[in-house]
Amino acid sequence: MQTPSGSLGLTKMLTRRTFISTLTQKKIMSRLPSFEQEIKQYFEHHRIAFDDNSASFKKLDFGFGDAKAKRYFSFDVKEKRQHYAVRNWPETDIPEEHLFIIDDLAARKILAYSPNSGLVVRDNLHRKYFFFSVVDLWLMPRQRVNRDIRKNVPGVKGKWLTDLRNGHSSDALTGVFAGIEAYLNRREDIFLNILECYGDYVGEDIPKGGIVRRPEHWSVDVSETR
């Protein structure tokens, strides 16, 4: 049986570990430029023309590419700056290490700029980058919740609990732009040609259902709808 003094010692040890972890996070954060600044530096270093809309609440943060070739791409940038207190959120199967929470409104804004739009996340805790195309955002599993807010009057704010593993992961920012390039190259197939359920997402198991479709079924569909 653990003695009271032993229990107290364990509590102190856990408190010290939490304190050290917090200090470590703060040191990491102090060495990192903001993600918006890192993006700007990347564009400038590689001499890529870009639009900076990060001061706007109505536009996505950045845009770049050839609009005439239909390759102009807009994206928002977000950071995971600290661990989440999972006890404050509904139970989820997503481990905290992979959990990322975004605003429902932010996701809808990305949808407004589709199909050439997406979300880029920097996980400051693990120095990882993630790219989510608008297609990934809207097809991948997620849990939506309303969070209470207190302004002039009480209200709620929609939030998404998402899994970072469902994004294109890379150790450097160059990998994000490679992911954007790959998405643009596959855009026509994604939106016009791929028949099966698109994407292989963590947290989703897609079963088979319905009877086998045969040529005569399409013939009936055409005759009855045209």
Q: Using an 8 Å Cβ cutoff, are 203 and 163 in contact?
A: yes
Is residue 191 within 8 Å of residue 184, measured between CB atoms? no
Q: Are 121 and 170 in contact (CB under 8 A)?
A: no
Give the tens place of pLDDT for each residue, 17-76: 544 444 455 554 457 889 999 999 999 999 999 999 999 999 999 999 999 999 999 999
Q: Which long-range contacts (CB under 8 A, 24 or more apart) does 94-97 make?
A: 94/161, 94/162, 94/163, 94/203, 97/126
Report the alpha-carbon distance of residue 76 to residue 159 in Å, rounded: 16
Distances (CA, A) of 134 to 47, 76, 113, 145: 26, 11, 9, 20
Pick the closest to residue 103 from 67, 46, 145, 66 (CA basis).
Answer: 145
pLDDT in tens, 162-207: 999 999 999 999 999 999 999 999 999 999 999 999 999 999 999 9
User: How buried is 24 (Cβ within 10 angstroms: 0-12 exposed, 13-18 middle, 19+ buried)?
Assistant: exposed
* Higher pLDDT, residue 47 or 223: 47
Name all domains of the chain by residue range, CATH numbers in brackets: 37-205 (3.40.1350)
pLDDT score, position 20: 47
CA 118 to chain centre: 8
pLDDT higher than threshold 70 for residue 88: yes
Identify the pLDDT of residue 217: 67
